[in-house]
Amino acid sequence: MTIAIHHVRLIDGTGALYDNATLLVRGTKISAVGPSNEVRIPQGAVRIDGRGLTIIPGLIDCHVHLCLGAEADVVATLESEQPSYTLLKSARHAKATIDAGFTTVRDVGSRDHSIFTLQQAIESGVMPGPRIVGAGLAICMIGGHARFIGQEVEGTEQVRKVVAEQVAAGARVIKIIASGGVLTPGTSPDEAQMTMEELAAAVDAAQQAGKRVAAHAHGAAGMKNAIHAGVRSIEHATLLDDESGALMKRYGVYMVPTLSALATTAACRPGCGIPESALDKAKAMTKRHRASFKAAHQSGRHGHRCRHAVQLPWGQCAGA
């Protein structure tokens, strides 16, 4: 069956804007797109009048955690849930994601390997959802940040083993934790986590498996360690300094700022249910986070990378 959306405003992703376009969809593929006076609508096609509407390419969110929701204390909530319940919740979030226009997401840390089950269900047509580039469990040091969605490790051999396990389970990207964080009690976003040897081992093991590595890092020390280890992206980059920015440019490392996650948390008032430690850290870093991103953008430090990596806020995705 062919569906024709005609006389619609269309942005095609190349910078071109059509005020009067026609788009043809045959099955699950776009078969034609262009000015309405140039695109022939096949006989028998289902016609949809697009006047007053706009079509854009599918959006990409580079940093999500589909297992997390809009609860005030997402860590306590996740730890209290049965794994099967978390999977069902993740499926609901996946549907909300595709309904919001996001056709691809990078899930950089989940409770277990069930994210790959969800990934398979979507790809096989069992349920609607975006393409998922999933990391599975994040890799963190013992007692480190994100252990509620991670695998704690000590030493390079354990790191390599866990990377291999994630890849075998279906990981398309590897996530490592190179600094403390906001949501995990007892960790400071400024402090570097995991040793240089462990970070480098994760990158080497991932590269041997044909995978890239994303590193959680708020503080400059953690960013620098991760960049020197060879990661492909820095998640958050909250306390970016000149040296870490220069290293990102030199080695072509992507910046995924996740601006909405920190700002949303910081906007909450005491007593809202968010743990006091997380609220204090978020409020202390928000202005610096925005300043870091603004400086990077204005200086052209990351060129097009910076602009295209920004997480877009929507719905109730925690994205933390």
For position 308, what pLDDT does the model report? 36
End-to-end CA distance of the chain: 41
* Domain identity same for 50 and 128: no
Distance CA 179, CA 215 (A): 9
Q: Tokens 């289902």, residue? A: 46
Evaluate if residue 311 carries a pLDDT over 80.
no
The verdict on residue 314 lying in a domain is no
Q: Please, what is the angle between helix 83-99 and helix 114-123, to 10°? A: 40
Does residue 117 share a domain with residue 86?
Answer: yes
Q: What is the mean pLDDT of residues 35-59?
A: 95
Residue 210 resides in a domain: yes
Query: Do residues 202 and 299 share a domain?
Result: yes
Among 148, 85, 87, which Cα is nearest to 120's? 87
pLDDT digits (tens, 9 = 90+) for 62-110: 999 999 988 889 999 999 999 999 999 999 999 999 999 999 999 999 9
Which CATH number do you get for residue 183?
3.20.20.140
Share of the chain above pLDDT 70, in %: 93
For the entire predicted model, the pTM comes to 0.87
Same structural domain, 195 and 107: yes
Domain identity same for 48 and 69: no
Domain CATH code at residue 7: 2.30.40.10
Residues 6+ apart with CB under 8 A from 313: 259, 260, 264, 319
Judge if 51 and 79 occupy the same domain: no
31 with 63, same domain: the answer is no
| Residue (of 74, 66, 138, 141) closest to 278 by Cα position | 74
Range of the domain at 115: 59-308
> How many domains, the chain?
2
| 26 and 95 part of one domain | no
111 and 36 in a common domain: no
Q: Domain for residue 242, yes or no?
A: yes
Give mean pLDDT, residues 119-135: 97
User: Are 67 and 24 within one domain?
Assistant: no
Query: Whole-angstrom Cα distance, residue 51 to residue 38?
Result: 17
Q: Is the pLDDT assigned to residue 292 strictly greater than 70?
A: yes
Domain assignment present for residue 273? The answer is yes
Same domain, 143 and 242: yes
The residue from 55, 70, 86 where one domain ends is 55
Q: What is the per-residue pLDDT across 250-268, written as a single tens digit (0 to 9) for each?
A: 999 999 999 888 888 888 8
pLDDT-based confidence at 299, cuts 50/70/90? low
Same domain, 51 and 65: no
